[in-house]
Amino acid sequence: MAKKPRSATFIKDPLWYKDAVIYQVHVKSYFDSNNDGIGDFPGLIAKLDYIKELGVNTLWLLPFYPSPRRDDGYDIAEYRGVSPDYGTLADVRRFIAEAHKRELRVITELVINHTSDQHPWFQRARKAKPGSAARNFYVWSDDEQKYAGTRIIFLDTETSNWTWDPVAGQYFWHRFYSHQPDLNFDNPQVMKAVLSVMRYWLDMGIDGLRLDAIPYLIERDGTHNENLPETHDVLKQIRAEIDAHSPDRIP
């Protein structure tokens, strides 16, 4: 199916983000169209004229993907979907189209440092053989001693950056909650999969992706594992891919 062309207004301004006036929206709490107590995309569409009148030109959506929502949606269980509470993919496509009709751009939040432990990638990894490409989608260890110099971010709930997984028979690494295993960006297949997810949303018409928890993408022994040079290398690869695929969008 051919992609619907974007309007000339969007095409003419590849540096639109430099002076964007951004309005952050959490779909679940914005406007409820069906009286089930949860905001949704049809409700957000109904409010686009009001949002336009506020003088903004860009909407930034917080995570709306399928999720157990143990961390308000930042624990993503499926990258290419939408939580049923918020609507359908058809609703998302209609929302993007209606926003663009009003010359409103759309940025979505995309968490690439970690997933939910319910994500199919993790469920596959924990059952795969140690050392296999599937297992190595995440970061594993036989003990909790590796990366000992790394701070624990959520000291109020976590006692370690490692959590034992009885199915895998190993510990998995997580910089946030113990139900959010970190992806392993030293595995080229992870980068390939993440870039595929980005292209999916860009092809749908999303104007930009706000990437969450970026400082923690790479782990190295003997460091504090934050903002490492190798992490910046990952970002350069992402930037190059987006420039080649969609030069008027931002990651």
Alpha-carbon distance of 190 to 250, in angstroms, equals 20
Residue 84 has pLDDT above 70, yes or no: yes
Residue 188 has pLDDT above 80, yes or no: yes
CB neighbours of residue 111 within 10 Å: 24
- Which range has the worst mean pLDDT, 7-16, 107-116, 183-192, 225-234? 7-16
Q: For 10-57, what is each residue's pLDDT tens digit?
A: 555 667 778 899 999 999 999 999 999 999 999 999 999 999 999 999
How confident is the model at residue 6, as a pLDDT? Answer: 52
Mean pLDDT, rounded, of the chain = 94
CB neighbours of residue 8 within 10 Å: 8
Q: CA 154, 158, 160, 163: dihedral to nearest 10 degrees?
A: -120
Start-to-end C-alpha separation, the chain: 25
Nearest to 164 by CA among 222, 117, 213, 114: 117
Q: 111 — alpha (psi -120 to 50), left (phi > 0) or beta?
A: beta
How confident is the model at residue 36, as a pLDDT? Answer: 96
How confident is the model at residue 249, as a pLDDT? Answer: 84
